[in-house]
């Protein structure tokens, strides 16, 4: 029997080797790399599967804050580093590790679990549903039609270049402002800022210092930050054909967002801008006089959510107007199934178990997909994954749950 347990210090090297094996990276690790890994994980929330003393599967979770619709946050169990060695696949190891971790999360009182799925088909069976999507565009700069004489924002604000040390000072406060206003966003810790400014490097990602620029509002306050990497290329006849790859752009006002994208498509020698993963309803194409110059190159599910406590999840978010809904939630794993009456109004929402007839019934997966406001119950009813027990209930659910802007998670984890 393969033993699944949390790690002791002495297991970390073996666990890290198994993690690399599962992610098809070199299994060789130096002592420094193992020590670095040790410093970044909570052993009590790091699981390994051991067969004859050798680690053959990995799983880790950590505490995360996830922004719900309306700006309140819920406690999330963030799942990452999931691998099963190719010698041990499809024997139920992931299922066992997931059950152990979700049991502990439920016990702790976490409202949801979250993850970024490597492949779409893996996590639905564990009650996770895709809750945010992501889009990447490639902008053909010469076709965009922007005035080539542009030289900075015309709203009294300015763009300034800054360095990594400035980013570590300015970035965390800016990101906190972004996070509380962006349903689907998650918190970043100090380690995130060190890793994303080159102060902490690992063996897998080669680091080169990007260019950083900030947008300052007319008041002088920093309202946006972009990190971008120019990829050099010149044609045979000496025409510049460089690409700017955006590593991240955090903006807390529409003015900052517009000014930073305009800046990126105005840099001399840059013919293409790769936007990185943005909200699927980003205004990027519409900033351009010719929106067709922005071509979608990636469109995919991003943050997956597993609701562990339907009552707290539904009471934490806000709703459009007032209304009520009786939901039947199926949860074969037993964490949060049941029938609930949701009463939502301008002063908050109450969600209580009920014996009234259900109006809409669904698996807990679909609840996750609807909860952050991105998906439509009418669409899921047409798909057959949500059942209308009362005609019109799906449209009523949409009127309450959907949001005018789509949720978005800017970060991989």
| Choices 7-15, 79-87, 249-257, 339-347; region in contact with ligand ACO by CB under 6 A | 79-87
Considering the candidates 50, 123, 126, 212, report the single residue annotated as catalytic.
123
Q: Is residue 93 close enough to count as binding ligand ACO by CB under 6 A?
A: yes
Q: Tell me the C-alpha to C-alpha distance, in Å, between residue 110 and each of 128, 311, 404.
A: 15, 12, 27
Nearest CA to 372 out of 325, 304, 322 is that of 304
Give every strand in the sheet of 46-51, ordered side by side: 3-6, 46-51, 54-67, 73-84, 112-116, 303-307, 129-130
Buried b (16+ CB within 10 A) or exposed e, 74-88: bbbbbbbbbbbbeeb
Residue 39 host element (H or E): helix 31-39
53, 121, 220, 321: residue in contact with ligand ACO (rule CB under 6 A): 121
Nearer to ligand ACO, 83 or 243 (CB): 83
When asked if residue 300 is in the footprint of ligand ACO (CB under 6 A), the reply is no
Annotation-wise, does 341 bind a ligand? no
Q: Among 62, 126, 204, 413, which one carries the catalytic annotation?
A: 413
Name which of 202 and 389 has its Cβ closer to ligand ACO.
202
Surface-to-core class of residue 346, CB atoms within 10 Å of its CB (0-12 exposed, 13-18 middle, 19+ buried): exposed
Backbone phi, psi, residue 103, to 5°: -60, -45
Do the annotations mark residue 54 as ligand-binding? Answer: no
Active-site residue, 413 included: yes
- Pairing label, strands 270-274, 242-251: parallel
- Sheet bearing 348-353, strands edge to edge: 348-353, 338-345, 323-330, 360-363, 386-388
Binding site annotation covers 91? yes
Beta carbon of residue 310, minimum distance to ligand ACO (angstroms, whole number): 22
Residues 6 or more apart in contact with residue 358 via CB below 8 angstroms: 326, 327, 328, 339, 389
Q: Is 379 annotated as a binding residue?
A: no
CB nearer ligand ACO, residue 85 or residue 262: 85
- Tell me if 22 contacts ligand ACO by CB under 6 A: yes
Select from 109, 44, 115 the least CA-distant residue to 75.
109
Number of residues that bind ligand ACO (CB under 6 A): 22
124 near ligand ACO (CB under 6 A): no
Work out how close the CB of 102 gets to ligand ACO at its nearest, in angstroms, rounded to a whole number: 13
In angstroms, what is the minimal distance from the CB of 408 to ligand ACO? 18
- Residue from the set 32, 44, 90, 238 that interacts with ligand ACO by CB under 6 A: 90
Task: Tell me how far, at minimum, the Cβ of 23 lies from ligand ACO, in Å.
Answer: 6
397 binds ligand ACO per the rule CB under 6 A = no
DSSP 64: E
Cα dist from 236 to 83, 239, 272, 300, whole Å: 45, 7, 18, 36
Task: Quote the least distance from Cβ 130 to ligand ACO, whole Å.
Answer: 13
82 near ligand ACO, rule: CB under 6 A: yes
- Is 84 near ligand ACO (CB under 6 A)? yes
Q: Kindly tell me which residue out of 81, 132, 266, 336 binds ligand ACO, with binding defined by CB under 6 A.
A: 81
123 given a catalytic annotation: yes
Interface with ligand ACO, residue 95, by CB under 6 A: yes
- CB neighbour list of residue 409: distance below 8 Å, 6 or more residues apart: 116, 132, 134, 184, 185, 186, 302, 303
Dist. CA 160–CA 213, nearest whole Å: 5
CA-wise closest residue to 74 among 64, 84, 82: 64
The one among 115, 213, 360, 396 contacting ligand ACO by CB under 6 A: 115
Comparison of 3 and 389: residue with beta carbon closer to ligand ACO:
3
95 known ligand binder: yes
CB of 19 to ligand ACO, least distance (A): 9
- Closest alpha carbon to 116 in 73, 38, 64, 180: 64
Q: Could you tell me which residues are beta bridge partners of residue 62?
A: 78
**Beta carbon of residue 78, minimum distance to ligand ACO (angstroms, whole number):** 9
Q: Name the residue nearer to ligand ACO (CB basis): 26 or 241.
A: 26
Check residue 80 for interaction with ligand ACO (CB under 6 A): yes
What is each CA distance from 411 to 186, 266, 363, in whole angstroms?
7, 26, 27
Rounded CA separation 148/370 (Å):
43
Annotated binding residues: 82-84, 90-95
Q: Please give the annotated binding residues for acetyl-CoA, written as ranges.
A: 82-84, 90-95
Binding site for ligand ACO (CB under 6 A): 22, 79-84, 89-95, 115-119, 121-122, 125
Residues classed as catalytic? 123, 413
């Amino acid at each position: 029997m393969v033993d699944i347990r949390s790690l002791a210090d002495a297991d970390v090297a073996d666990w890290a080797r198994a993690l690399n094996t599962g992610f098809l990276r070199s299994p060789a690790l130096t002592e420094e790399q193992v020590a670095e890994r040790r410093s970044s994980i909570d052993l009590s929330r790091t699981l390994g599967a051991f067969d004859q003393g050798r680690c053959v599967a990995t799983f880790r979770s950590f505490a995360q804050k996830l922004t719900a619709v309306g700006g309140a946050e819920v406690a999330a169990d963030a799942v990452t580093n999931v691998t099963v060695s190719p010698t041990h696949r499809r024997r139920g190891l992931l299922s066992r590790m997931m059950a152990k971790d979700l049991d502990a999360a439920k016990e702790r009182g976490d409202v949801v679990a979250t993850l970024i799925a490597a492949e779409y088909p893996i996590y639905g069976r564990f009650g996770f549903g895709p809750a945010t999507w992501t889009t990447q565009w490639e902008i053909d700069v010469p076709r965009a039609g922007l005035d080539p004489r542009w030289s900075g924002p015309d709203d009294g604000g300015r763009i300034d270049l800054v360095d990594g040390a400035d980013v570590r000072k300015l970035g965390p406060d800016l990101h906190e402002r972004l996070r509380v206003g962006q349903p689907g966003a998650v918190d970043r810790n100090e380690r995130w800022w060190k890793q994303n400014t080159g102060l902490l490097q690992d063996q897998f990602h080669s680091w080169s210092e990007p260019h950083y620029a900030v947008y300052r509002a007319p008041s002088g306050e920093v309202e946006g930050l972009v990190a971008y990497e120019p990829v050099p290329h010149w044609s045979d006849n000496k025409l510049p054909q460089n690409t700017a790859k955006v590593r991240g752009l955090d903006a807390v006002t529409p003015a900052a967002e517009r000014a930073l994208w305009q800046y990126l498509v105005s840099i001399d020698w840059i013919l293409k801008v790769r936007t990185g993963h943005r909200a699927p309803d980003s205004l990027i194409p519409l900033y351009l006089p010719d929106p067709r110059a922005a071509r979608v190159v990636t469109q995919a599910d991003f943050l997956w959510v597993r609701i562990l406590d339907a009552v707290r999840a539904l009471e934490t978010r806000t709703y459009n107007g007032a209304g009520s809904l009786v939901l039947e939630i199926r949860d074969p794993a037993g964490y949060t199934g049941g029938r609930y009456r949701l009463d939502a109004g301008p002063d908050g929402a109450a969600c209580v178990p009920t014996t009234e007839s259900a109006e809409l019934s669904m698996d807990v997966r679909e609840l996750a997909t609807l909860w952050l406001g991105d998906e439509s119950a009418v669409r899921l009813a047409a798909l057959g994954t949500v059942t209308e027990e009362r005609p019109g209930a799906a449209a009523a659910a949409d009127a309450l749950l959907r949001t005018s802007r789509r949720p978005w998670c800017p970060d991989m984890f």
